[in-house]
Structure 1
Amino acid sequence: MKTLIISLLIMHIATGFTALLAGLIPMFSKKGSILHNRAGLIYVYCMITVAASALLLCALQPFKMMRLFLTGIAIFSFYLSMTGWRATKQKKSGPTPFDKGLTFITFLVSLLMISFGGYLLATNGASFFPILFSFFGLLTLIFAGRDIRLMAKPAEKMHWFFQHFTRMGGSYIATFTAALVTNMSRILPTNAPEWMATLSWIAPSIIGAMIISRTVRYYKVKFNGAKASLTV
């Protein structure tokens, strides 16, 4: 069992590190190029492995709150990367039964994270883990809930494009955050206040969301400008 856990841990760390490197390439390479597509696919495969190994490590090792939370983040990041990748396959067909099942499972996971955060908040007060479980559970709920709503009505023509880069970007932010906080004890002094550790979890999501929102606005203006030029 010990050998299995060590092997899973090595796999988890190696694929997580590979994902952080591979995920940078699509951001700066030409959209739709072979390099962009292949690096993105490597990133998705890495995130599948990261999520699967995180679940196994959580199940096989003694319970720890941080381990449980990191597993939730791995699932969240996996969902974002998978829906971002699958968006390019749904330009005409829409979500498949697999996509719908994945969305509903993730929606249930988000409710469990929020409920657990509320339970910890009621028993321990507004400390580190109650805030984080509630915050990331709410983020997961927003994404999965939005996907459920879109199943009931047709999406805009370029929905797949925005879905692709916003989800892949969100997945990268979550993966980067997990890697950052895992090593935060080596960065912060031992007497650092708890709010600094909490901020290190939440700040990348807020900053990343601002960058993604700005990118969305840029492309919407670009697409609207292209439409206007065609009608002139």
Structure 2
Amino acid sequence: MAESISLFWAEYGTLLLEGTRDTLLMVGISTVFAYVIGLPLGVLLSITSPHGILPLKWFNRILGWIVNIGRSIPFLILMVAIMDFTKLIVGTKLGVPGAIVPLVVSAAPFVARMIETSLAEVDAGVVEAAQSMGASTGQIIRKVYLPEARPSLILGASISIITILAYTAIAGAVGAGGLGDLAVRYGYQRSVSSMMLVTVILIIVMVQIIQTVFSVLSTKMDKRLR
């Protein structure tokens, strides 16, 4: 058993390390940009809703419609459909850079809805109290909505990151690199079952670590549990 593991690592160890690095790069960079786009979209969806602090029915409907379209397109189809746009932005359709653009485009609408859901959980009484004291819309967002929704936002972030991680595996099937690429090229096409098993285990470990870390952070920041 030990000898088999040693032989496997000698043959595929470097590939696994590179695949893990590429997967983490795709997840990390895509998550940052998805939140750069998705956070303001989610805030706008929340505050312009009929019960928001700045109700704009027509704007909310149009923005919600756009976000829903983005969420409705399967990632693999989206990735292929915007290949020319991806090349225009990063100069290539393949590899880690080629995966980041579709990952961001696909994840940003999902993040926006997660943000909107988290902000909807904020106690309306707290928001009304801030309004009665003359707080501006920007102050309510920065000092009430986001701080009060922090535990939910953190849990939502874990779901978003895990979703992006799943998307990277799909991206790997069409030349994006990472663990998904290794699973397809070696585990499926070359029938190296041990490679398929190891890549699956690595992704499961990543998911468990992400979920555990963010759950602990959410619990520590939840004032209701103090």
TM more than 0.5: no
Q: TM-score, normalised by structure 1?
A: 0.36
Q: TM-score, normalised by structure 2?
A: 0.37
Bigger relative contact order (CA 8 A; separation at least 6): 2
Which structure would you say has the larger Rg? Answer: 2
